[in-house]
Amino acid sequence: MSDVEKRDTVIIGAGPGGYVAAIRAAELGQSVTVIEKSETVGGVCLNVGCVPSKALINAGHRFKDAQDASTFGITTQAPSIDFSKTQEWKQKKVVDRMTSGVRMLLKKHKVDVIQGEAVLDSDTKLRVVSTGPKQFMSADDGLTIEFKNLIIATGSRPVEIPGFKFEGRVVDSTGGLNLPEIPKEFVVIGGGYVGTELAGAYANLGSHVTILEGTPSILPNFDKDMVSVVLKQMKKKGIDVVTSAMAKKAVQDDSSVTVTYEVDGKEATVKADYCMVTVGRKPNTDDIGLEMTSVKTTDRGLVEVDTQGRTSVSNIFAIGDIVPGPALAHKAFFEAKTAAGAISGNKTANDWVGVPAVCFADPELATVGLTQTEAKDKGIEISTAKFPFAGNARAVSLDQPDGFVRLVTTKDDNHNLLGAQVVGPGASDLIAELSLAVNSGMNAEDIALTIHPHPTLSEPIQEAADVAIGFPTHI
C-alpha cells in the first residue's frame, strides 16, 4: 500500500476556478495543493477557450480593418495573411504568456502543483494517477492524498453529436481555434456564443462561413433586437445563417467535408474545408470517482451546491463549469473566491443577480441582470429605456454606429435598475459599469447623475438613464 499523504486544502483542476481558488485559499493562510492533469495550467479558458478565441477574433478584426481602411481615406495595398504566423502569435505571445503568468502566481503563493489525474476514493481521500493514455493505476501505485477540504474544479468538455465524430476535418472548438489554414468554406454547427464568435473571426479572416443552428435563432440567450444587429453585420460579411437546421451527418475525404442537414423536412448539403461543431459542453464529473463519495449530482451531471459552493459533503466544494449556472470564466473566478473563503470560515456567498454574459460577436453583445422578457416572466412591472450608438459621437467616429444600450428598470418613480443590455462597440467593457450598478442596487437617476467622459462609448449608458428618468438629451 502506498503512503497516504495528508494535505489541508486540495483543489482538482487548475482552470479559472481551480487556480483562483488556490490563490485565494493561500492568501487566507491555507496550505494548498492543486492537482492538474494537463501539462499547462489555466484550463480551457486560457489554453483553448476565452483567451485564444479573443486573440483570433482580434486578428480577424485587424485583417478586416486593413481591408476597409479606404473608408477613412487611407489607401493600402491589399493585405495578405500568413496564418501560421497568426497561430504562432496566438500561442506564444498570448496563451503561453498568460499560462506562465498563472504558473508564476501559483508559485508566488507557495501552492503545490501536482501533475496528474485525480480520482476520488471517498469523501476524504483521492488518488493521483498518471496522465497520458488513460490507465487507472491501482491505489498501490498511485499517490493517495487524504484531504481536509477539497474543491473540485474539473470544468467541461465539448459535446459530440451523432454523425459528427471529432476527427480530421470535423473539429470541436479546440480544433476550430487551431486550424492549420484559413478555410475557404467553413461550416459551423451551433450558433451559440462560441460558434458565433469563431464564425465571425474566420469570416473576417476571409472564409465563407455557413452557420447551421438547430433553434429558430442564433444566440437564443440574447434579446431578438440585439441579435438582429449582429445578423445585419453577418449579412454584410456574407455569413450564411440557416436556422431550425438539424445537422445529420458529415462525410469527409482528404480535402473536404460534406455536411448533410435538414430544414422543414427537406435535406440539404453544404461542402466545406472544415466543419466545427459547437453545440454545448458537458461537465467533467463522470470519470472523477464521484460515485465513491456522497456528493450529489443533478441528472445533467452537474454537482449540487449551496450558495458557498459546498456540496452535499461538508468538506467538499465544487465550482465553475461543473456546477449549475452559466459556464463562464468570471463566474468560476467568483465561485472560487467564495469557496476558498468558506473553507477559511468566512461568511462568503455567491449572489448571481449581477453575472454579466458577453458574446464577442460583431458587434459585441452583453447582458447583466434581468432582460425585459425575464422581468415580465417574473411578473415584475418594468420600464425600458434605450439609447442608440448612432447618437454617440465616439461610435460614429469609429464608424461603428450600430447597436444600443437598454436599461430595464422598475416601472415606479424610483426606476430601480433590474438589468441592462448592450449591443455595439465595446459592449464587453461597458457592461462592467452596468454590473456594478445592478449589484449595488442603483437606480437610473444614480447613473444619470454620474458624469461620463465625452466623447466615449460609455455615454450611451448615461443617455439611456436620462431616457429612463424622462429627460432625454441627445434623442
Catalytic residue among 61, 208, 454, 474: 454
| Total number of residues that touch ligand FAD (CB under 6 A) | 34
Closest CA to 32 of 153, 148, 118: 148
| Spatial separation of the C-alpha atoms in residues 16 and 252, rounded to whole Å | 36
Q: Are 349 and 307 in contact (CB under 8 A)?
A: yes
The yes or no reply on residue 53 touching ligand FAD (CB under 6 A) is: yes
Q: Which of residues 190-209 bind ligand FAD (CB under 6 A)?
A: 194
Q: Is 99 annotated as ligand-binding? A: no
Smallest distance, ligand FAD to C-beta of residue 373, A: 23
The yes or no reply on residue 332 touching ligand FAD (CB under 6 A) is: yes
DSSP 116: S
Name which position in 23, 25, 26, 44 contacts ligand FAD (CB under 6 A).
44
Helix (H, G, I), strand (E, B) or coil at 40: coil
CB closer to ligand FAD out of 150 and 234: 150
| Spatial separation of the C-alpha atoms in residues 291 and 469, rounded to whole Å | 55
Among the candidate windows 10-18, 211-219, 310-318, 465-473, which touches ligand FAD by CB under 6 A?
A: 10-18
Q: Are 151 and 318 in contact (CB under 8 A)?
A: yes
Q: Is 156 annotated as ligand-binding? A: yes
442 CB neighbour count, 10 Å cutoff? 17
Active site residue 454: yes
The yes or no reply on residue 36 touching ligand FAD (CB under 6 A) is: yes
Mask for 92-131, x = binds ligand FAD (CB under 6 A): -------------------------xx-------------
Q: Which amino acid would we find at residue 231? A: L
Own/partner pairs, 324-329, CB within 8 angstroms, 24+ separation: 324/298, 325/352, 325/355, 326/355, 326/357, 327/156, 327/281, 328/355, 328/357, 329/15, 329/16, 329/45, 329/49, 329/50
Among the candidate windows 13-21, 90-98, 180-188, 450-458, which touches ligand FAD by CB under 6 A?
A: 13-21
Distance of CA 401 to the CA centre of its chain: 26
Q: Is 456 annotated as ligand-binding? A: no
Name which position in 12, 259, 365, 405 contacts ligand FAD (CB under 6 A).
12
Mask for 225-264, x = binds ligand FAD (CB under 6 A): ----------------------------------------
| Spatial separation of the C-alpha atoms in residues 109 and 114, rounded to whole Å | 15
Smallest distance, ligand FAD to C-beta of residue 396, A: 27
Helix (H, G, I), strand (E, B) or coil at 427: helix
Mask for 385-424, x = binds ligand FAD (CB under 6 A): ----------------------------------------
Smallest distance, ligand FAD to C-beta of residue 33, A: 11
With cell 506564444, the residue in question is 92
Angle at 39 between CA 38 and CA 41, to 5 degrees: 80
Q: Can you list the alpha helix ranges (DSSP code H) found in 290-443?
A: 329-343, 372-377, 393-397, 427-439
Q: Which of residues 336-365 bind ligand FAD (CB under 6 A)?
A: none
What residues form the annotated binding site? 54, 154-156, 190-197, 213, 280, 321
Catalytic residues: 454
Q: Which residues are annotated as a binding site for FAD?
A: 54, 154-156, 321
Note the residues at the interface with ligand FAD (CB under 6 A).
Answer: 12-18, 35-38, 43-45, 49-50, 53, 117-118, 153-156, 173, 194, 284, 288, 320-321, 327-330, 332
